[in-house]
Amino acid sequence: MKLVVAVDKEWGIGYKGDLLARVRADLRYFRALTKDKTVILGSTTLATFPGGKPLKDRVNIVLSRRSDYAPEGAIVVHSIDELLKTLESYDDENVVVIGGASVYSQLLPYCDTAYVTKFDKSFEKDTFFENLDASAEWELESVGEEQISDPETDSEAGMKFSFCVYKRVAK
């Protein structure tokens, strides 16, 4: 299982239920990593998508405690056990966790690769991702070329960022 997340300097990922920044290059990276794959997300994250609808060109599996929750176009599971059972019929290499914070924290132990967009900025935030740099279980495998956000297309102008890949350390 893989995951994809965008973080700021303190590993913040969100504020008041929204992303910290909307950067076209990061959204394209996200799309490239998840298109034609199985994505796992929480119901709160799904609610932030356009129209609250599942992502196109992906199998969307939503983890929700609510028994009456049934968004059209998504598979709903109600526990990690049920999720793992459902995933038995999918290729593990094509499963990507996409958030939010609760889903990340519950599924991080099952992931072997983390695709992390690091924004070189501190934002106001109320939601965090585990700092993989401080974890003995993860190592930074690669850091992409530094990029700068575009004031014409992005919510933050002139912000430096890079695409990083972390791998779980073999035990």
Q: Hey, what are 120's tokens?
A: 């070189």
Q: Model-level pTM?
A: 0.95
Amino acid letter for position 150 = D
pLDDT in tens, 74-119: 999 999 999 999 999 999 999 999 999 999 999 999 999 999 999 9
Percent of the chain at pLDDT exceeding 90 = 93
* Cα atoms found within 13 Å of the Cα of residue 115, Cβ hemisphere only: 17
Band (pLDDT 50/70/90 cuts) for residue 30 is: very high
Average pLDDT over the chain, rounded to an integer: 96
Find the helix or strand (DSSP H, E) in which 13 lies.
Answer: strand 12-15
pLDDT score recorded for residue 171: 63
Q: Where are the domains of the chain?
A: 2-168
CATH of the structural domain 2-168, one choice from 2.60.120.10, 3.40.430.10, 3.30.70.980, 1.10.1670.10 = 3.40.430.10
- For 14, the 3-state DSSP assignment is strand
CB 62 within 8 A of CB 38: no
Band (pLDDT 50/70/90 cuts) for residue 29 is: very high
- CA-angle at 101, arms to 149 and 61, nearest 5°: 100
Band (pLDDT 50/70/90 cuts) for residue 11 is: very high
Percent of the chain at pLDDT exceeding 70 = 99
CB 91 within 8 A of CB 36: no
DSSP calls for 119-160: ESS----SEE---GGG-TTEEEEEEPPPEE--TTT-SSTT-E
DSSP calls for 55-96: PTTSEEEEE-S-TT---TT-EEE-SHHHHHHHHTTS-GGGEE
